[in-house]
Structure 1
Amino acid sequence: MPAAALRPKPLPTQSTAKRPVPLDLPYAPVAKRPLPAGLPREWYVTHNRRLKAMRLAIALLDSGVYLPDQARNARIRSTAELIGVHPPSDATCRLVRALLHRHR
């Protein structure tokens, strides 16, 4: 009998579950580091928007939203409230959908 047949079958993960797994409470954030000084203000705005969009995209993926069509602005904003992030702007919502589309 091959060795692979003797290993126990792994538990289902979010990606293999039959229905979405409820979103856990957010985990402790990583330690923040200071941003580099001397860059234009627009760089900081864009950087923070991308970080927020990534956090929201990860939370949506964890809750079972895999397609950009499933991520309406209301859904993204309710997820932001759930994980403790300020409500995103329309531009941030578009970026979240772009991240979901790109990594699909």
Structure 2
Amino acid sequence: MPAAALQSKPSRTQSTAQHPVLFDSPYEPVIKRPLPAGRPREWYVAHNRRLKAMRLAIALLDSGVYLPSQAHDATIHSTAEDIGMRPPSDTTCRMVRAFMRYSR
């Protein structure tokens, strides 16, 4: 039997991401769908920025940073690095703090 056939598939609890992940989720990944066509470019930029800020806010909350005053730019940047995301801009950092402010 070839050696490739003997290798097991990764289980649901193992991370298959190429970047390090803070927490493995017991849930199935969300199926990504294409964004709607025909919108202005600014809409797509704002949409992707909101998604990135939300992912960062969730990761910060999971790591124990509960208040916007605790979420300094350096903390947000290091969290982005921990979850395998490109460093956020200053605008995205402000948006992360805004999400944390209104999550209470």
TM-score range, shorter chain: 0.7 to 0.9
2:22 and 2:82 in contact (8 A); partners too = no
Moved over 6 A (4+): none
CA RMSD of aligned residues (A): 1.6
Matched residues, number: 82
| Equivalent-residue separation in structure 2 for 1:98 and 1:73 (angstroms) | 13
Aligned counterparts, 1:34-73, within 5 A: 34-73=34-73
Give the CA deviation at 1:30.
Answer: 2.2
TM-score by length of 2: 0.73
Q: State how 1:14-53 maps to structure 2 within 5 Å.
A: 24-25=22-23, 27=25, 29-53=29-53
TM-score by length of 1: 0.73
Paired letter, 1:48:
N
Q: Does the 8 A contact of 2:54 with 2:99 survive in 1?
A: yes
AA partner of residue 57 (structure 1) = A
Sequence identity percentage: 71
Residue segments in structure 2 that go unaligned for 5+ positions in a row: 1-20
Q: Deviations over 1:18-52 (max 9, x none)?
A: xxxxx834547422110000000000000000000
SS at match of 2:85: coil
Aligned to 2:87: 87
